């Protein structure tokens, strides 16, 4: 009896040792951690003290973290109000894409950063808090967690988080990078539309604004596209998006201006002429509208059938 | 119960497909503005097969949200807010993707291992552990 109990204890000890051994080798394989909290032009220390804090209730770090980011951006919401939008009761947690959906439902821009520490540091330096996902446990025993990065200290190599029940969780870069890497460096900024993440790239940014469009947040989309046009003046998508959002809010003059600029920057883009033609027609400029529609049809492309319909409708209306 | 939900799934797929079938006979080309989505994602042509796939993905997500305990009204709104690419990412994976909840529901041995790794600075589970700086 005694021996079997001892054997059992021994087995347990061996198991524990094996486990920790596996853990240590698993982690040391990924070492050394790059200590690269030094970018040219980056301040030594940043802390966004104005980011509000919501303490996490059971399992609800997702709603709490998103509420902090949204309220910082200007939305008025609470973790309680976000729970039905992003919480999955049976999973005891929230999924990353659903954080984005909830953000855009409130008319705010959610942008997922390029994976890596540089993006987070640059956003923090620009004054933007960053929602991060971490696996605070281990690969074989994940403890998925959302927190909000609100600062860093390059001298002490530390990251400052609003996390769980802690308003100010200071964690060494080494520990933070390990836990964050296990969640594939997922990081999200939540911004009032019109404010541009300094690390944004054109294509994913436009996709983010498209999400706002899809939910009918046209004013927000117009602001976001205007910022995109300022950053990427030659972007056809941004210019057309600006025109379309202004059109949807009833600002035909603004839309016309955006489409016209698109035809100048992209003289072979039939779609720019097509939308310009429609807007001119709505304003009663029939002759100009017809010219633009003709141009779209002669340029052709995959949307030719639509251009032809536009032209046909304009000819029918102008002859009335 | 399982059989019923399969049957319901089949019925809803049939409904979607028949609705789309009606759409097939309507001319797709429309006069007027061309939306930003069509401009940006011009490459992936909106074939009818694509549209069916996208609708099925959304239907699948809605069912999974319900199965995971989300309120029916809210489930619809949650799916509606997704972009097509988000819906594609999520479809069929809601029970596998990492769900951030931040709480350890652990047995003692896991607690001990995590405590140890916390002290070593490999993990950051327990706020009461002082992690080493390097």
pLDDT, tens digit only, all 320 positions of chain A: 444 444 554 444 444 444 443 333 333 334 344 556 777 889 999 999 999 999 988 778 999 999 999 999 999 999 999 999 999 999 999 999 999 999 999 999 999 999 999 999 999 999 999 999 999 988 888 899 999 999 999 999 999 999 999 999 999 999 999 999 999 999 999 999 999 999 999 999 999 999 999 999 999 999 999 999 999 999 999 999 999 999 999 999 999 999 999 999 999 999 999 999 999 999 999 999 999 999 999 999 999 999 999 999 999 988 77
Phi-psi region of A107 (alpha: psi -120 to 50; beta: other; left: phi over 0): left
CA distance A304 to A216: 26
- In chain A, CATH 3.90.70.10 covers 45-191
Compute the distance between CA of residue A161 and CA of residue A136 in angstroms, rounded to an integer: 13
A174: closest CA of chain B, how far (Å): 7
Across the interface, of A16, A144, A312, the residue whose CB is closest to B31 is A312
Report yes or no: A52 and A71 within 8 Å, Cβ to Cβ.
yes
Domain identity same for B12 and B69: yes
Within this chain, do residues B57 and B122 fall inside the same structural domain, yes or no?
A: no
* B128 and B79 share one domain: no
Q: Is B132 on the interface with A (CB under 8 A)?
A: yes
First to last CA, chain A: 103
Tokens 């025993």, located at residue:
A141
Domain containing residue B25: 2-90
B17 with B80, same domain? yes
Segments of chain A assigned to CATH 1.25.40.10: 202-318
Yes or no: say if A133 and B87 are a contact pair by the CB < 8 Å rule: no
Chain A CB contacts of B78 below 8 Å: 85, 98, 101
pLDDT digits (tens, 9 = 90+) for A34-53: 556 777 889 999 999 999 99
Cα–Cα dist A136/B125, whole Å: 5
Which tokens hold the place of A52? 């509000």
With an 8 Å Cβ cutoff, is B43 touching chain A?
no
Rounded to a whole number, what is the distance in Å from the CA of B18 to chain A's nearest CA? 25
CATH class of A202-318: mainly alpha
Query: Does one domain contain both B46 and B85?
Result: yes
DSSP H helices, chain B, are: 2-24, 36-40, 48-67, 72-80, 84-90, 108-120
Is B110 in the same domain as B77? no
* Residue contact B134–A274, C-beta within 8 A: no
**Do the bridges between strand A130-135 and strand A144-153 make them parallel or antiparallel, or are there none, so unpaired?**
antiparallel
Q: Judge if B78 and B19 occupy the same domain.
A: yes
Contact A306 B112 (CB under 8 A): no
How many domains does chain B fold into?
A: 2
The SS3 call for residue A149 is strand
Specify the CATH number of the domain A45-191. 3.90.70.10
Contacts of B119 in chain A (CB under 8 A): none
B50: phi then psi, degrees, rounded to nearest 5: -60, -45
Exposed e or buried b per residue across A263-272, where buried means at least 16 C-beta atoms within 10 angstroms of its C-beta: beebeebbbb
- Collapsing DSSP to helix, strand or coil, A191 comes out as strand
Size of interface A-B (CB pairs under 8 A): 219
Domain co-membership, B16 together with B73: yes
- CB–CB contact B40 A207 (8 Å): yes
What whole-number distance in Å separates Cα of residue B134 and Cα of residue B125? Answer: 17
Residues linked to residue A199 through DSSP beta bridges, in sequence order:
none
A103 interfacial to chain B (CB closer than 8 Å)? no
* Helix (H), strand (E) at residue A167: strand A166-172
Q: What is the distance of C-alpha B119 from the center of its chain?
A: 36
- Quick check: A178 and A160 in contact, CB under 8 A? no
- pLDDT per position as a tens digit, A243-300: 999 999 999 999 999 999 999 999 999 999 999 999 999 999 999 999 999 999 999 9
Residues B57 and B114 in one domain: no
| B87 and B79 Cβ atoms separated by less than 8 Å | yes
Residue A188 CA to residue A82 CA, distance in Å, equals 17
In-domain check, residue B95: no
Q: A156 in contact with B at a CB cutoff of 8 Å?
A: yes
């Amino acid at each position: 009896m005694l021996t079997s109990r001892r054997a059992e204890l021994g087995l347990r000890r061996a198991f524990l040792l094996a486990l920790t051994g596996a853990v240590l080798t698993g982690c040391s394989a990924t070492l050394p951690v790059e200590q690269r909290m030094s970018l040219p032009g980056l301040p030594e220390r940043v802390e966004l003290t104005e980011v509000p804090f919501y303490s996490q209730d059971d399992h609800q770090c997702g709603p709490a973290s998103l509420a902090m980011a949204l309220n910082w951006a200007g939305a008025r919401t609470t973790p309680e109000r976000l729970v039905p939008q992003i919480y999955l009761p049976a999973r005891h947690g929230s999924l990353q894409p659903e954080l984005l959906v909830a953000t855009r439902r409130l008319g705010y821009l959610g942008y997922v950063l390029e994976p890596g520490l540089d993006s987070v540091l640059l956003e923090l330096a620009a004054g933007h808090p960053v929602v991060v996902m971490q696996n605070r446990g281990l690969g074989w025993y994940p403890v998925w967690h959302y927190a909000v990065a609100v600062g860093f200290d390059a001298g002490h190599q530390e990251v400052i988080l609003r996390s769980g029940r802690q308003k100010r969780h200071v964690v060494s870069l080494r520990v933070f990078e390990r836990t964050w890497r296990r969640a594939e460096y997922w990081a999200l900024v939540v911004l009032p539309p019109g404010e541009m993440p300094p690390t944004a790239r054109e294509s994913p940014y436009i996709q983010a604004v498209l999400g706002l469009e899809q939910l009918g947040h046209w004013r927000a989309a117009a602001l976001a596209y205007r910022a995109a046009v300022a950053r990427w003046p030659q972007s056809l998508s941004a210019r057309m998006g600006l025109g379309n959002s202004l059109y949807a809010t009833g600002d035909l003059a603004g839309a016309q201006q955006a489409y016209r600029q698109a035809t100048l920057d992209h003289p072979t883009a039939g779609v720019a002429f097509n939308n310009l033609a429609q807007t001119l027609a709505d304003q009663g400029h029939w002759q100009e509208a017809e010219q633009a529609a003709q141009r779209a049809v002669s340029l052709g492309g995959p949307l030719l059938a639509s251009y032809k319909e536009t032209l046909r409708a304009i000819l029918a209306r102008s002859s009335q | 119960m399982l059989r019923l939900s399969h049957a319901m799934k089949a019925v809803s797929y049939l409904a979607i497909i028949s609705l789309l079938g009606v759409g097939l006979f309507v001319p797709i080309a429309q006069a007027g503005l061309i939306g930003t989505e069509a401009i940006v994602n011009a490459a992936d042509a909106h074939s009818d097969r694509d549209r069916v796939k996208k609708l099925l993905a959304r239907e699948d997500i809605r069912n999974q949200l319900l199965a995971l305990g989300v309120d029916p009204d809210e489930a619809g709104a949650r799916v509606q807010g997704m972009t097509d690419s988000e819906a594609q990412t999520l479809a069929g994976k809601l029970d596998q993707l990492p769900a951030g909840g931040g709480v350890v529901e652990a047995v003692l041995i896991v607690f001990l291992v995590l405590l140890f790794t916390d002290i070593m600075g490999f993990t950051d589970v327990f706020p009461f552990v002082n992690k080493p700086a390097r």
